[in-house]
């Protein structure tokens, strides 16, 4: 059985430096996605994550047991964050935050596989957000990113560093604030949490 580490294959996207901001050209990739609103950690947020991981792991084991017999690690959870009024971010009005939580899927995955995986999950579990899971491509293009080490509440200076990098180069912020969660926050201490901070920009 072949084992594949997509996170290592895509190291430039998923394992950036924590010392300096880097630019990356993010290609169009396919994701499992769930949209929602409200603060991270809310019931709706937790339901979205449970549904995403349930489908992602079902797909993984379908591929592992299938004809291709490839074993791979499920990619990390990612989040796009925004608000209709961006002052809600500055003022920490988390109830107005909007988000799309997502997990990238390798090229082995197609629409039919996702549909079957969702069907299997429904047979085994009753998940509140399973009907919200969708599979679609997402493209960011040119982005700046860096690794943040520490709790989410201390991301502010790291985010500012990325924004300053973009603006000092004469570019304009575009798209949505993007985070990639590399740590299992249930097991790691907050000071050791690793989060990729990514921001698309336009020239």
- Strand segments (E) across the chain: 2-4, 22-26, 29-37, 70-72, 77-82, 98-105, 134-138, 141-149, 172-173, 177-181, 194-202
User: Whole-number mean pLDDT of the chain?
Assistant: 93
State the sign of the Cα–Cα–Cα–Cα dihedral 46, 47, 53, 54.
positive
Whether residues 188 and 116 share a domain: the answer is no
Give residue 130's pLDDT: 98
**Beta strands 2-4 and 22-26: pairing type?**
unpaired
- 82 and 44, same structural domain? yes
Residues 183 and 114 in one domain: no
Do 127 and 200 have their domain in common? Answer: no
Which residues in the chain come in under a pLDDT of 50? none
CB 24 within 8 Å of CB 143? yes
pLDDT number for residue 185: 80
pLDDT value of position 83: 85
- Give the pLDDT of residue 158: 94
CATH code for position 193: 3.20.80.10
Q: Is residue 120 part of a domain?
A: yes
Q: What is the pLDDT of residue 87?
A: 65
* Whether residue 128 sits in one domain with residue 48: yes
Domain that holds residue 154: 13-27+141-203
* 38 shares a domain with 110: yes
pLDDT of residue 31: 98
């Amino acid at each position: 059985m072949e084992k594949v580490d997509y996170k290592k294959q895509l190291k430039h996207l998923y394992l950036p430096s924590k010392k300096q901001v880097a630019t990356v050209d993010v290609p169009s990739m396919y994701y499992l996605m769930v949209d929602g609103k409200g603060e991270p950690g809310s019931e709706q947020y937790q339901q979205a994550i449970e549904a995403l991981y349930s489908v992602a792991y079902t797909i993984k084991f379908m591929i592992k047991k299938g004809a291709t017999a490839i074993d791979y690690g499920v990619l990390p959870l990612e989040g796009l964050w925004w608000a209709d009024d961006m002052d809600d971010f500055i003022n920490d009005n988390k109830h107005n935050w909007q988000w799309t939580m997502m997990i990238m899927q390798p090229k082995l995955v197609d629409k039919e596989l996702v549909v079957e995986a969702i069907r299997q999950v429904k047979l085994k579990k009753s998940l509140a957000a399973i009907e919200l899971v969708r599979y679609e491509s997402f493209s960011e293009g040119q982005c700046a990113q860096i690794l943040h080490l520490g709790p989410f509440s201390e991301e502010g200076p790291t985010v500012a560093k990325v924004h300053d990098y973009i603006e000092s180069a004469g570019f304009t912020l575009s798209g949505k604030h993007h985070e990639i969660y590399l740590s299992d926050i249930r097991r790691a201490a907050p000071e050791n949490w690793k989060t990729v901070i990514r921001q698309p920009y336009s020239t």
